[in-house]
Chain A
């Protein structure tokens, strides 16, 4: 009898506790410990060309976005028009293709054009670990020296691009010149 009560009650309390803790971790505004630090080192194959190796050096040199995406991630699909729009405005966008297969990822890009300049293929999520990837999609802003200056977890939307991403990019461009 006691067991019949005890098990559901424990289950309910655990779920409630988890959700309460989860509520405290606002996944979006959580400042990454990496903001202000140099881009973490990595070495991965290029998505398009397995022969070519990509390192953090390929991401550094100008103000750029780094986007973490996967073909299975529906939120990534929803933010893709915004990345396309940014790319059209001349913003350099590098990317990690996260825990994906080469075939699916290539297909995903072929479907709607490719907003990315350089794509590192990260099937095991190794570099994702170094960069502190929480969940796809994520977007980082790097300055010309390769310092992470901004990070956003979750899909981009019109308001976010207008009010956060573009001002950060403009500020960094201004600093550079």
Chain B
């Protein structure tokens, strides 16, 4: 009964979404204020029904109602309760329900936080969000209904995939979906601005905090996914260039480019066309991601159970999005106009460079992901594109980009002065080069690529630090308070996010060069070493978990005779799939290194294969990701986005426009 109520609520939400897609838009078109205002209430109503629907599915999981097919396939009586709650998004149907609920939550957030915006704009944004919602809700109801019954009900469920029974998997999908769906909001803003015919600085200012917040969630989602893969898969790898990973990485790259484009549009009124294109592309890439993961067109580790109907539906949605938005763009583009001009050496030109590099790397990942499919489609030949391709293409693109990340914030808008940059940054540059060369030497083995990576990371950190210092010193006369006030959240946030990127680069350079991986056979009492650490197998015992049996090794780690820690990797045999043991790695994390142990197969009577890793600076990978997201949140919280301001005059007063540009401005 509860499941039927959930289904009913889901269908009602679809009806509300369909209404939301039409009424506010009509209202904005004919200038009817009442119709425009319906957007807000419809968005709230849709959200309420989706929460009800989601709660119903969660309830079915908690009480183990196996007459619901989705529950029977993804849960089990013995599954611990907190995993029953998170198993709701452990499969295709439920994760889609989470997706539409998050979309509704974003719509409500737009309805609440956009009070200062012109009501036509809000109405159009909500209408576009309603259309997106109709697409995903129809997809859920028609092809992937989580409430389908299974009669007669089985006595026990199949169980949640053991790989997903882990804290990392609890938070990964919601974060990722917050990011994906946030891109729908950005897309909606761009479409609303196109419909209204005003792509101006005000539009950029409204979209910017939404883009930033969505980008932060996407960053966290991708980061947590990588963190999970790192310790859960037992291979110590953190990125596999798997199609599904790429599916989340492509929107991230495009969104990063979009974020920087919006900065130009807001501050200088430039790059409008490029910004709209990126907003469309980013959103289209999130749908493409859903297509890749859920249609079965590309074979991957974490593909969901697939069904060609779903692929066709998602493809139709992708087509409607792309063709619809491009048609709108074609219709409206003549009204867009150009922004302020800029010199060949200016922050705009450097940001353009960064954009080109990001878009090209996004295209490279896109090609690498779809290339095997393309070749097969034309029956040319059969190949697999693996990490060798991505490493070879991606690295050379990232190097100049990292250099620009350090330099661009130090160059003036509109017209910079190369000599001034040279004067300001030459010592920073020299120090970065020297440290980049020296650091690998201190680690014991010198390698040009490592030196380049570390040098670039130090370059970013130093340019950011000196920029913050300069900004504060300019307010020296106003005392400490004035100096701290000089660090506006958006300014500080930008540098923190860049510093986060630098930390990730340090971690990647270090771990790729200096990681030590050893595969050893250990019997109780025997010792193996990795780097300066000695690992002694003390004992192996049987333990019983809530829904698995495990062999648990107890491995004592010492360094120079002093005990560091005791690690307890497990090899789990889940009740639901006996004979297919899963490894559960055990880690000891410190800022300068991770020690990582996973238990392999038993050999002989009492010996075990054990995999030992020494992974330097992995800690900075996750810290860097968190710092990037934190910097983004900080920037989005900047006061200037929250000021209610005069609704009609923003665009005129905000951009310093030269005489030539005024004629091209439409609004």
Contact = CB atoms under 8 A, between A and B. Distances in A.
A53 interface: no
B299 A12 contact: no
Nearest to A111: B519
Nearest to A27: B299
B579 interface: yes
A169 interface: no
Interface stretch (A38-46, A56-64, A70-78, A139-147): A70-78
Interface string A7-23: 01100100110111111
Given A23-B308, A82-B580, A18 B330 contact: no
A154 B299 CA distance: 6
Nearest to B374: A18
A8 B277 contact: yes
Contacts of B300: 75
A174 interface: no
A25 B370 CA distance: 13
Interface stretch (B12-20, B111-119, B380-388, B551-559): B380-388
A135 B372 contact: yes
Contact of A20 (B315, B329, B382): B315
How big is the B interface, by class? 35 or more
A158 B577 contact: yes
A38 B53 CA distance: 55
B285 to A, nearest CB: 10
A77 B382 CA distance: 21
A26 B296 contact: yes
B299 A113 contact: no
A84 interface: yes
A36 interface: no
Interface in A112-160: 112-113, 125, 128-129, 132-136, 153-155, 158
Nearest to A21: B377
Interface string B85-112: 0000000000000000000000000000
Contact of A84 (B242, B322, B330, B601): B601
Nearest to B603: A113
B386 A73 contact: yes
Interface in B480-513: none
Contacts of B323: 9, 12
Contacts of B387: 72
Given A16-B318, A23-B308, A23-B312, A8 B326 contact: yes
Interface residues of A, number: 48
B333 interface: yes
B373 interface: yes
A21 B277 CA distance: 25
A22 B297 contact: yes
A155 B326 CA distance: 38
B299 A9 contact: no
A72 B388 contact: yes
Contacts of A21: 377
A112 B600 contact: yes
Among A72, A98, A155, chain B packs the most CB atoms within 10 A around the CB of A72
User: Closest 7 A-B residue pairs measured CB to CB?
Assistant: A154-B299, A74-B240, A72-B386, A12-B322, A21-B377, A5-B330, A22-B373
Interface of B: 233, 235, 237, 240, 242, 273, 277, 284, 288, 291, 295-301, 308, 311-312, 315, 318-319, 322-323, 326, 329-330, 333-334, 370, 372-374, 376-377, 381-384, 386-388, 517, 519, 577, 579-582, 600-601, 603, 609, 611
23 contacts: A1-B334, A5-B329, A8-B326, A8-B329, A9-B323, A9-B326, A12-B284, A16-B319, A18-B373, A22-B370, A23-B297, A25-B377, A70-B386, A72-B388, A74-B242, A78-B301, A81-B580, A81-B582, A107-B517, A111-B600, A113-B600, A129-B381, A134-B376
